[in-house]
Structure 1
Amino acid sequence: MARVSQIDAENQREIAALNRHVLARLEADTSVEKLVDENLQLFGVADFFSAEECERLCDLIDRVARPSPVFDVDYGRSSRTSYSGDMDPSDPFIRMLHRRMDDLLGVEENFGETLQGQRYEVGQQFKAHHDWFDTDAHYWTEKVATGGQRAWTLMVYLNDVEEGGTTDFPRVNVSIPPQRGTLIAWNNALDDGTPNVDTLHAGTPVLAGVKYVVTRWYRSRRWY
């Protein structure tokens, strides 16, 4: 147990240092809008991906989309009903988008997981959840050894949705509607590097149309 506690403490220090760097970077970027800065550090960037890039990503998602997995299988059967799939990290197009996201945060590419695409059809959703890993869960030993905690989440809407499909943060009473090309980013940790419960968020059910998004999670250390 002492060994695990020591590893967790080290990971928290890494997250805290990374987040200080990223926050300074975002706050200095005039293209970045601060959406929330109380209990949750949430940012937005309009037109982060072009219309052509969004359309191309939608096509790629359709090729790789499968029923979306979650870490807790029993919980996931009813909570995450979308389709998802990882993009090819060796694809020059995907690497270009990776670099743009890396530059936004000011981090190296290998801190970010591979870009994941998600498609939500009518009635599909992802109920309220956190992106950070539960350090008491069975999978934590593996995750902390292969990149550590998820420090930041970057998500980009790829299309406008006819109705529904908002991203809601219930603990801070914020709801963000899908807008093509718009990126939202949030810090998954508190200042001390521990998980922030106020990052609880949900992809609400699509009521009309189809919703496409891509998500990239950044770890506290190099991911592999």
Structure 2
Amino acid sequence: MSTTQARQQVTPELRKWIVDQAQAGHGPESVVKAMMASGWTEDVAIDAMESTLRGHLEEQAVAQGLPPAVPVPDAALDESPLYVDAGDRQVAVLQAMYNPRVVVFGNLLSDEECEQLIALAKPRLARSLTVATKTGGEEVNADRTSNGMFFQRGENDLVRRIEQRIARLVNWPEENGEGLQILQYGPGAEYKPHYDYFDPAEPGTPTILKRGGQRVGTIVMYLAEPEKGGGTVFPDVHLEVSPKRGNAVFFSYERAHPSTRTLHGGSPVLAGEKWIATKWLRERRFE
């Protein structure tokens, strides 16, 4: 902590004043300006305001019965970069949304990597299952009409390279990721809108959480493009991401609640075939 920060402690009285100003409709710029006029340096004033308001919103959310927020993966986009360093690859930032946190990446996978994943997955495909939140197991779900398989984490050089890239891209430990899932959607196949987090109210959720805690992020990578249809949709925010080969859509959810607005689904494939690779990220090491 700098000497200036040491002198300018954020007291309970200051926090209350910041919250009161926000509730009265005063914008962030006017709050910071007033603090600077009272002798606060700009950087300390901004930090104090942001941390106070985040804390207040979290207190309000928990008071209303929402689960507590947890840290989540995210790309380093504070300076609005066109590209993000993913270690062995520069990945393009095509679109970014903050509420919900949705980022569309370009050129995350090469054509060769897409082809290799499909070739390795084909012999192991079976009807896709979903997590059975009532028991903690798996089950066939009529809402999901794809075929799929899982690679073990780090199963081969290709999978390991992609997992390292993802970890670098969204600043999250490799060990917190579930195995890479490959999915095939033929004509008419879809995955109806759903949430990826595990519902705390379901009886099987405590069993599921023992393996690595709650899911906190998802990245969907497009391996093969259908001729028509097959987009990834976010109904709450009227967003659709086209399934362009090599691109990916990432989204995170800081609490297991619909307030995250991360309801999403895979629209029906109308012609051709769609292949995707999905990576779910957990709070802790996934066992």
> Fold match, TM over 0.5?
yes
* More displaced 10-residue stretch of structure 1: 62-71 or 120-129: 62-71
Deviations 1:128-155 (A, max 9, x none): 1110101111221122221111100011
Give 1:48 deviation, angstroms: 0.5
Which structure would you say has the larger Rg? 2
Pair 223,26 (structure 1): closer, same or farther in 2 beyond 3 Å: farther
Q: Secondary structure at the match of 1:158?
A: strand
Q: Residue 170 of structure 1 contacts residue 201 of structure 1 at CA under 8 Å; is this kept in 2?
A: yes
Matched residue, 2:149: 85
Match status 1:206 vs 2:258: no
Paired residue for 2:165?
A: 100
- Relative to structure 1, is the Cα distance of residues 73 and 207 closer, same or farther in structure 2, using a 3 angstrom cutoff? farther
**Superposition pairs of residues 159-174 of structure 1, within 5 angstroms:** 159-174=224-239
Q: Give 1:49's aligned residue.
A: 109
Q: Identify the match of residue 280 of structure 2 among 210, 213, 217.
A: 217
Contact 1:26 1:105 in 2 (8 A): no
Shift of the 73–144 alpha-carbon distance from structure 1 to 2, 3 Å rule, reads closer
Corresponding residue for 1:142?
Answer: 207
Match of 2:43 in 1: none
Aligned match of 1:115:
180
Instruction: Please give the alpha-carbon distance, in whole angstroms, between the structure 1 residues aligned to 2:115 and 2:172.
Output: 27
Q: Which runs of 5+ in 1 are unaligned?
A: 1-8
Deviations 1:60-93 (A, max 9, x none): 2212211011124999532001001102432111
TM-score by length of 1: 0.84
1:60–1:87: 8 Å Cα contact kept in structure 2?
no
Change (3 A) 1:145 1:77: closer
CA distance in structure 1 between the partners assigned to 2:211 and 2:173 by the alignment: 16
Q: Which amino acid aligns with 1:97?
A: I
Task: Report the Cα distance in structure 1 between the residues aligned to 2:163 and 2:77, rounded to whole angstroms.
Answer: 17
The 8 Å contact of residues 152 and 188 in structure 1, kept in 2 or not, is answered as: yes
- SS of corresponding position for 1:45: strand
Residue pair 1:61, 1:119 contacting (<8 A) in 2 also: no
State the SS of the aligned residue for 2:203. coil
- In structure 2, C-alpha distance between the alignment counterparts of 1:72 and 1:88, rounded to whole Å: 20
Unmatched segments (≥5 aa) in structure 2: 1-64, 84-92
Identity over aligned pairs, percent: 30
User: In the aligned structure 2, how far is the partner of 1:188 from the partner of 1:66?
Assistant: 29
What is the TM-score of this pair, normalised by structure 2? 0.66
Verify the 8 A CA contact 1:54 1:159 in the aligned structure 2: yes
State the match for 1:6 in structure 2.
none
CA distance in 1, matches of 2:235, 2:140: 19
RMSD over equivalenced CA pairs, Å: 2.3
1:42 positional shift: 0.3
1:30 aligns with 2:82: yes
> Are residues 1:130 and 2:190 paired?
no
Instruction: Tell whether the 8 Å contact from 2:198 to 2:256 is kept in structure 1 after alignment.
Output: no
Post-superposition shift, 1:46?
A: 0.5
> Residue 149 of structure 1 aligns to which amino acid in structure 2?
Q
Give, in angstroms, the shift of residue 33 of structure 1.
3.7
What CA distance in whole angstroms lies between the structure 1 residues aligned with 2:271 and 2:256? Answer: 38
Distance 2:178 2:195 in 1: 16
After superposition, the Cα gap between the structure-2 partners of 1:177 and 1:95, relative to the gap in structure 1 and judged at 3 Å, is: same
Larger RCO, structure (CA 8 Å, separation 6 or more): 1
Decide whether aligned partners of structure 1 residues 216 and 26 sit closer, same or farther in structure 2, where only a CA change above 3 A counts. farther
